[in-house]
Copies of this chain bind each other. A is one copy, B any other.
């Protein structure tokens, strides 16, 4: 039996997942989440939380997901939605506190790995996994292997440009993330409703749309048009067999994904629009993915008989 800890440091929440692996079967021991701290001592606050969460248990290894680009030594190169992570090597402090080895992985890649091994993409050879959360992450998985690109930066579908003036967290204007990223949806709704800065969320917007607020409906209509456009462009370039969609914003499947899929299918010409299905691991996908990565990196996988 092996004990693994997954930490998913997202733009809004940080999630902890303690899992047990025995004979290739995985089970959840416990899990928790709390708002991601956004101050200079955030990493030590997270380390303290980790110690409390783990308690007397002793994980054999852990994984740490970040919504950004990571170098080969686990250093965070770019992380626009959690700025304090930039220039840190977040596994080091936690590894020292836990006395266990850790790996740092991109959240999109982690979510993809989890969906491929344990979730909705299981058994498919060519998968694009899209995470619609605070920001947007993606990963292309072929034959079980995540295509990270030449510099570990592939899959950044949140930062393809759809035009318009809105500034994105990445420094460009008009990225997909400015249309359908959770932070931007919440900010736009807050600006329209006069909510105190930072208090309105994408969930508020979606609830208002469900209640019939025309302004909210218009924002979602623009968001799903943009997402449909990006799905078609992705299909043109990558041509995946299946697209799996997870993340907090995708929880509103009826409001976000159903219209997106209808618009993409309606606008397709030469495209093979593949099945577009919800991620099975929900908001825990990236945490599960870090656990799988840690398990693999620590050499804990059973050797072939």
- Tell me the residues in window 143-169 of chain A with beta carbons closer than 8 Å to chain B beta carbons: 147-157, 159-163
Query: Is B172 within 8 A of A269, CB to CB?
Result: yes
- Other-chain contact of A171, B78, B154, B269 (Cβ < 8 Å): B269
Query: Is A161 within 8 A of B229, CB to CB?
Result: yes
- Other-chain contact of A153, B161, B163, B170, B272 (Cβ < 8 Å): B272
Query: Is A159 within 8 A of B236, CB to CB?
Result: yes
Query: Is B154 within 8 A of A237, CB to CB?
Result: yes
Query: Is A270 within 8 A of B153, CB to CB?
Result: yes
Determine whether A96 belongs to the interface, using a CB cutoff of 8 Å to chain B.
no
Query: Is B150 within 8 A of A240, CB to CB?
Result: yes
Query: Is B78 within 8 A of A233, CB to CB?
Result: no
Q: With a CB–CB cut-off of 8 A, which chain B residues contact A149? A: 126, 238-240
Query: Taking CB as reference atom, which chain B residue is nearest A124?
Result: B150
Q: Report how far A153 CA is from B235 CA in the complex, Å.
A: 8
Asked whether A154 and B238 contact (CB < 8 A) given A149-B126, A270-B159, the answer is: yes
- Against B, the Cβ 8 Å flags (1 = close, 0 = not) of A205-235 are 0000000000000000000000001001111
Q: Report how far A172 CA is from B264 CA in the complex, Å.
A: 12
- Other-chain contact of A154, B80, B154, B239 (Cβ < 8 Å): B239
Query: Taking CB as reference atom, which chain B residue is nearest A163?
Result: B163
Query: Is B274 within 8 A of A78, CB to CB?
Result: no
Query: Is B161 within 8 A of A237, CB to CB?
Result: no
Query: Is A270 within 8 A of B171, CB to CB?
Result: yes
Query: Is B69 within 8 A of A270, CB to CB?
Result: yes
Query: Taking CB as reference atom, which chain B residue is nearest A267?
Result: B172
Measured between C-beta atoms, what is the minimum distance from A123 to chain B in Å? Answer: 14
Query: Is B156 within 8 A of A270, CB to CB?
Result: yes
- Other-chain contact of A237, B78, B142, B237, B271 (Cβ < 8 Å): B237
- Other-chain contact of A157, B147, B163, B237 (Cβ < 8 Å): B237
Query: Is A157 within 8 A of B80, CB to CB?
Result: no
Measured between C-beta atoms, what is the minimum distance from A196 to chain B in Å? Answer: 29
Q: Report how far A150 CA is from B126 CA in the complex, Å.
A: 7
Measured between C-beta atoms, what is the minimum distance from A154 to chain B in Å? Answer: 4
- The 4 A-B pairs at the shortest CB distance, nearest first, are namely A149-B239, A171-B269, A150-B241, A154-B239
17 sampled A-B residue pairs with Cβ under 8 A: A125-B150, A126-B149, A138-B237, A142-B147, A149-B240, A150-B241, A150-B274, A151-B239, A153-B235, A153-B236, A153-B272, A154-B238, A155-B239, A157-B237, A161-B232, A170-B269, A234-B237
Binding site for B on A (CB under 8 A): 69, 78, 80, 125-126, 138, 140, 142, 147-157, 159-163, 170-172, 229, 232-241, 267, 269-272, 274
**16 new A-B contacts at CB < 8 Å, known A156-B239, A171-B269, A171-B270:** A125-B150, A126-B150, A138-B237, A149-B238, A149-B239, A152-B239, A153-B239, A154-B237, A154-B238, A155-B239, A156-B237, A159-B236, A162-B163, A170-B269, A172-B232, A237-B238
